[in-house]
Structure 1
């Protein structure tokens, strides 16, 4: 272990690294159930859900093993939030355009993930992605993590609640619960009146406050324990007040890993012919769109995670960035082959760093635990969406702490970061928000007589985003 991960050099030991890996796992375990929920529209228990569940565990583990052995960093990887929601939207659009089933459309969309993963492996090997990271202005880099936090809070307070408003759009707790929905509307749109709405909101906020209180008391597993408490509240309310059996799906369920469902629906199931049915122009447009979004989502999440973990220098750069980006790219290819959306670095990795994790042994430990989770699919499936909402809100709040590093007295930083803060939750895209920040930064510098302070690559990136926003829909 010492020779492999250079533990003494990094001021750590095996015990500390193992505990740090366990801590990271406990703070991000929600993705194991949340990702298949989002990618299958909460079609829990279906063959596709089981396939995505397996893919989430396996692709995450592969990404973390690469992070451990290539970059020797304590960062954990899994299918990225935001990108998985965007992927689900694309799958729905492909189904509408071609008339294919959702599963066939899902398999067609996996082609996009495969292509972008291969492209990013090439770009990482030739240091192009690392140069793009360096081209992002420091102020924008500092604002990425807080902006992601607001987007996670938006997801947690919105559509992840699992119920919808009378217009068919997402149910937002801060809007629909506090007076916007009348009893008649609630009855008409939800079928059971205020019951599901109250239970969902109560579950999410109870889980959130439990996480906060436990974290303040120094409990490392605050997120996981908060989700457990929230789940118990939801199950009890479901049984006592709504007359449902929250554990009905466990009756006769098999705890054997659903390999058969994965093989049937997602494992190397690239529907190339179905993908081409959408037309060459649309196909190329989708690939370009995903590449641009994924490029800056991955960079943004990795930079945000490293910043949160204190592993960047004064210029916001992280050692071994190339190897970390390559691990991310390999994880994405593994995700495409196994059946999930883009794999990226998770900001919850900071919890393991705070617990003492400093090397790849932390990432390796978390990856092994993710693999072990393939044996608990039925249990993961009964975790209520409201419990995962609590985790998303809490993690989002933590990420907002990064705002203290942004100089809001400097307009060159304040304006791009402010636009990114609102642009990320509104667009639902990390990449689009970074693009908006890059464009605003460039415009401000140019028209304030400081054009020479902007690098050539920054100009190129800003121009590409302008083309993306106005020419590629």
Structure 2
């Protein structure tokens, strides 16, 4: 094992790598509860996702592809269905239910699969690296922040802490703007008498305290602690009934939604912008996570070797997108929590292998995971949004040519409930403002030719497909 993973060369040992793998698992195991809840939380069957099949897909995708990362790349990076893209996955289905062309769970899985194929092609042809160069760093950070707020909105809504309502006509201020939509739709704080709202507040306090105390696995322990408190408070807070027919102790792979695609539905509905969004967001998310993890592990000291390993890691990540869709879950990607294992001393693929094995072992814990209430996972979503917000400090808000596109990217994601809208407005506004600044001598901003192509595609998308396309 030492020879295969080059442990001595990397300055590590088996014990350190195994502990690092456990650390990584503890910091990201919350996805086992959060992902099934997100993909099945939007009303009764609204997304078409069933809890147990999604749980199976989550554990399998995380286990299989994290082990693959360790064996084929010798990289301490763990994968699982990504936060943000799972929320986008579910919200796309929910939003389409009110249109003439509803998108089913199977159609959305097909869109993820297609984006994975595109991702593999972009990685093989090196176009992926070109895209990463074309988009300004400020936009990359803004995308991360916007997705963080988007996740927070999902958590607030799922918990009942935030409600969305429509004011009565008599309550709307009269005037020329009376018919504008934003006067009709309003946000309210949920009722504090609601047990679900009370439990999410308990969860937020508990997770926050654990994070302040720098407890590793704070989110996971916060979820488990919130669940335990809910059980003690009574059945109004947590359903303590274990139904082993629906969530068996021994994995029932016959319930796995394997290759559950709807190609005919995709062709009829048209999911071009959705596929593009999955691909676009995943590009930046993976790049930032892999580079950050590699830097933390000291892999970039030898730049050539470090970039080679990152390139291989990107390929495993791309295959994981298609593989995760085949198993029945939203986009599978490298987790930023991988850095926790690196901080604990992990330097090789043995860290990833041990993490992956623990995810596969979790397949035998479905009945326990199923006890975790939506309020507990909603609290985790809100806190994950906080962690992603940290990238805002990397944006120069004093430079308006950078600040305005970044602001549009950030605010339009949560407030229009659509990640694609934020990215689209950010791209177009950057191209326009950077061009104006260059023409009138107010700055020298690089506009990559690919940004022009993306801006034209975005404008064409809204012109011919519309805002809901």
TM-score (norm 1): 0.80
Distance 2:25 2:166 in 1: 35
Distance 1:400 1:444 in 2: 25
The C-alpha deviation readout for 1:374-399, integer Å capped at 9, x for no partner, is 11111111111111122222222223
Distance 1:125 1:379 in 2: 41
Residue 422 of structure 2 corresponds to 433
Residue 256 of structure 1 corresponds to 250
Q: Given the superposition, is the C-alpha separation of residues 432 and 230 from structure 1 closer, same or farther in structure 2, using an over 3 Å criterion?
A: same
Quick check: 1:48–1:261 contact (8 Å CA) kept in 2? Answer: no
Asked whether 1:421 is paired with 2:379, we answer no
Quick check: 1:412–1:444 contact (8 Å CA) kept in 2? Answer: yes
Asked whether 1:161 is paired with 2:159, we answer yes
Q: Given the superposition, is the C-alpha separation of residues 15 and 146 from structure 1 closer, same or farther in structure 2, using an over 3 Å criterion?
A: farther
Residue 463 of structure 1 corresponds to 456
Distance 1:11 1:465 in 2: 48
Quick check: 2:49–2:105 contact (8 Å CA) kept in 1? Answer: no
Distance 1:10 1:268 in 2: 39
Asked whether 1:268 is paired with 2:259, we answer yes
Distance 1:432 1:8 in 2: 48
Quick check: 2:227–2:238 contact (8 Å CA) kept in 1? Answer: no
Residue 57 of structure 2 corresponds to 55
2:275 to 261, 267, 291: 291
Q: Given the superposition, is the C-alpha separation of residues 73 and 431 from structure 1 closer, same or farther in structure 2, using an over 3 Å criterion?
A: farther
Quick check: 1:416–1:438 contact (8 Å CA) kept in 2? Answer: yes
The C-alpha deviation readout for 1:313-346, integer Å capped at 9, x for no partner, is 89xx983443233222211111221111221222
Quick check: 2:39–2:49 contact (8 Å CA) kept in 1? Answer: no
Quick check: 2:437–2:445 contact (8 Å CA) kept in 1? Answer: no
Distance 2:399 2:63 in 1: 41
Distance 2:203 2:403 in 1: 33
Asked whether 1:207 is paired with 2:228, we answer no
Distance 1:272 1:441 in 2: 35
1:65 to 63, 67, 84: 67
Asked whether 1:86 is paired with 2:95, we answer no
Q: CA RMSD in A?
A: 3.5
Asked whether 1:370 is paired with 2:359, we answer yes
Q: Given the superposition, is the C-alpha separation of residues 12 and 463 from structure 1 closer, same or farther in structure 2, using an over 3 Å criterion?
A: farther
* Structure 2, gaps ≥5 residues long: 168-185
- Give the drift of 1:125: 1.0
User: 318-327 vs 438-447, which deviates more?
Assistant: 318-327
Q: Secondary structure at the match of 1:446?
A: helix
Distance 2:129 2:35 in 1: 28
Quick check: 2:88–2:419 contact (8 Å CA) kept in 1? Answer: no
Distance 2:405 2:85 in 1: 22
Distance 2:162 2:243 in 1: 26
Q: Given the superposition, is the C-alpha separation of residues 98 and 153 from structure 1 closer, same or farther in structure 2, using an over 3 Å criterion?
A: closer
The C-alpha deviation readout for 1:56-94, integer Å capped at 9, x for no partner, is 111222332333234433232222233323333444577
Quick check: 1:293–1:432 contact (8 Å CA) kept in 2? Answer: no
How many residue pairs get aligned? The number is: 434
* Structure 1, gaps ≥5 residues long: 187-193
Residue 189 of structure 1 corresponds to none
Residue 113 of structure 2 corresponds to 114
Residue 325 of structure 2 corresponds to 336
Aligned residue runs from structure 1 range 104-183, under 5 A = 105-156=104-155, 158-161=156-159, 165=163, 167=165, 176-177=188-189
Distance 2:107 2:388 in 1: 34
More helix by share: 1
Distance 1:351 1:376 in 2: 24
Quick check: 2:67–2:355 contact (8 Å CA) kept in 1? Answer: no
Distance 2:414 2:291 in 1: 20
Residue 182 of structure 2 corresponds to none
TM-score (norm 2): 0.81
